[in-house]
A = this chain, B = another copy of it.
Amino acid sequence: MRLALVKRLLVGAPMPLAQARHERLGKAVALAVFASDPLSSVAYATEEILLVLILAGSVALSYSLPVALGIAALLAIVVTSYRQTVAAYPQGGGAYLVAKDNIGVFPALTAAAALLVDYVLTVAVSVAAGIAALTSAVPALLPYRVVLAVLSVAGIALGNLRGVRESGRMFAAPTYFFVASILGMVGYGLVAALFGWLPAAPYEPHPPGLEGIGLFLILRAYAAGCTALTGVEAVSNGVQALKPPEGRNAQAIMTWLGVISITMFLGITYLAYDFGIVPGGHETVVSKIARRVFGSGAPYYAVQTATMLILLLAANTSYAGFPLLSSILSRDRFVPRQFANQGDRLVFSNGILILSGFAILLIVGFGGDTHALLPLYAIGVFISFTLSQGGMVRRWLRLREKGWRWRVWVNGVGAVVTGIVLLTLTVTKFTEGAWIVVLVIPLLVAAFLLMHRHYEDVAAALSLEGFEGPPPFQHTVLVLIGDVHRGVVRAVQYAKTLAPTATVRGVFVETDPAHTARLEEKWSKWGLGVPLVVLTSPYRSLLRPFLDYLDQIQARGDDQMVTVVLPEFLPRHWWQHVLHNQTALLIKGALLFRKNTVVADVPYLLKRHP
């Protein structure tokens, strides 16, 4: 009862099923919910490019502009390609569904594994980067970044356990605040730089180049910048959560997303180039730009606050996606059934808890360092991009709807380009951590397939097809007693109603022969005519002689059903349970997985002694 109250206070009152439709998101709120992930990645994408280029010295930083343009082009291609997906799958067209629908189960499960891994990484990376925005502004908090990140994940999880719309509302304001402050910073920064309003740049040491500028370095920079694309698929996974018409709304959201995302990314990258920002140290590139543009006044803190908020909240995208995908996988019997259950507040609670647990593990394992986590991130995203768009190509080829040639082209370019990027990512980031993902995804797929086979086996074994009805059984009822008291008498009375009296027996395991006579005397008075079996226990063990006795009864055949009745009593306070019923617990544990054996506790409520 107390636990229920705590749950109620934390996650709110349960919601009736009829409320589910009203939980759908309007366009403006949905853009905020789904955009937080893709938009927020501009907070670290530029930095990742610069961190690769700086290896060739500060001169190489100017290559960030062509690299960024290339990434913007890729983003445009992917967004265009996904516009077709969301329109074709208004019921929600995540990579898993699209691949399953068009290519096959194995690619679909690969996409699903990649997506699940990415949802976890989105939470870990976004929260780590959000805390980095905070510690850039308030360096004193740097030593606490892991603790702060873990607390943030816990907070977001709680918000999501409360339900869809409430979290949607919570996320709208910060997203628009972020867009406004980054575009404000970029716009004012460009104008101010043009008119020379800015103070002279502070001296920053420019590290010497350790590597030459070559194609491989540029490719690595490009791969690093591809983190800007993470989250673009969020809309396609969540179309179901939009207000109808879902498909058209999703397309509009995709377009807006692409436009805003590209503008912000190019703006930040250009300013970083123009200001000669050198990446590294304990301050983020965005923080360095904002400090150059605004000094250390209120606008600077506004940018940092907005960045931190959107990143913390970007994690929310995963809280919409992960539980939804795992519930779909659960309905297809690829993951445990528990993921299919919606909680009292119409959210998939188990998915939310698992997601948070793994994200916290990653954050703690990588010391809350965004840069260390990022190499793991983009691989999964591009696997799902490639599979989803490849699936769309197959779809158009199969359906040959109006305009299919053009559509094949769009999705085909998307699939090929993202496939090439995927290869590049795997090669350039393999040793930096990408190998973990390359290892985990096949393991997940194998686990999905194993679980699926198990569920299929069980369904076959339980199927009523060809079933001729259960065979009849012989029923023996045993009341296991350690003493004779009111609770025991109650249990014997109960046992006598279960089966003909001839097959009911009291069972007493004798651990101290001195007590047996007294007990038998009490039984003769209060045993309600039921015979008592006394089992000797040379080893003082209670369990062993009883199990031997059970074996003896059940050895008579597969038709021997035994019900073990355990007298228990209910103390007035729950903590008093620790002082009682331990033996019953032991017996229940030992009989838990035993065939043809039913355990029944008969509770006796202790009344206050007059």
Residue positions of A touching B, CB distance < 8 A? 14-18, 336-338, 342, 344, 346, 451, 454-455, 457-458, 460-464, 467, 469-470, 473, 475, 484-487, 489-490, 493-494, 497-499, 511, 522, 525-526, 537-541, 544, 561, 563, 569-571, 574, 576-580, 582, 593-609
Contact = CB atoms under 8 A, between A and B. Distances in A.
Given A458-B606, A460-B609, A17 B569 contact: no
A48 to B, nearest CB: 39
B499 A337 contact: no
B561 A494 contact: yes
Contact of A541 (B14, B489, B604): B14
Contact of A344 (B541, B598, B601): B541
Contacts of A460: 609
Contacts of A463: 485-486
A468 to B, nearest CB: 10
A427 B15 CA distance: 63
A451 B579 contact: yes
B451 A494 contact: no
Contacts of A538: 16-18
B541 A582 contact: no
**Most chain B CB inside 10 Å of its own CB: which residue of A485, A544, A598:** A598
A473 B342 CA distance: 38
B475 A497 contact: yes
Q: How many copies does the complex hold?
A: 2
Contacts of A454: 571, 576, 579
Given A14-B541, A475-B497, A609-B457, A595 B603 contact: yes
A597 B16 CA distance: 28
14 contacts: A15-B539, A17-B537, A17-B539, A336-B578, A337-B582, A454-B571, A461-B486, A461-B606, A461-B609, A463-B486, A593-B603, A596-B603, A596-B605, A597-B603
A528 to B, nearest CB: 8
Nearest to A455: B579
- What are the nearest 7 A-B pairs in CB distance? A462-B485, A16-B538, A460-B609, A14-B539, A595-B605, A600-B600, A461-B606
A597 B601 CA distance: 9
Contacts of A525: 464
A386 to B, nearest CB: 31
A140 B606 CA distance: 60
A22 to B, nearest CB: 14
A462 B487 contact: yes
A599 B596 contact: no
B498 A569 contact: no
Nearest to A489: B470
A157 B571 CA distance: 33
B457 A582 contact: no
B593 A570 contact: yes
Contacts of A574: 593
Given A344-B541, A595-B603, A609-B457, A526 B464 contact: yes
Nearest to A598: B600
Nearest to A484: B464
Nearest to A609: B460
A241 B505 CA distance: 39
Nearest to A469: B489
Contacts of A498: 497-499
B464 A489 contact: yes
A457 B579 CA distance: 13
A235 to B, nearest CB: 27
Contact of A540 (B17, B457, B579, B604): B17
Given A344-B539, A538-B16, A540-B344, A467 B489 contact: yes
A337 B579 contact: yes
A601 B603 contact: no
Nearest to A497: B475
A576 B451 CA distance: 9
Nearest to A578: B336
B606 A462 contact: yes
Contacts of A522: 464
A458 B539 contact: no
A486 B499 contact: no
A602 B540 CA distance: 30
A463 B487 CA distance: 9
Contacts of A577: 593
Given A14-B544, A497-B499, 13 more contacts: A15-B539, A17-B511, A17-B540, A344-B541, A457-B606, A461-B609, A462-B487, A464-B525, A470-B490, A574-B593, A596-B603, A598-B601, A598-B602
Contact of A569 (B342, B462, B540, B597): B462
B458 A486 contact: no
Nearest to A566: B598
Nearest to A595: B605
A342 to B, nearest CB: 5
A151 B522 CA distance: 49
Contacts of A457: 606, 608-609
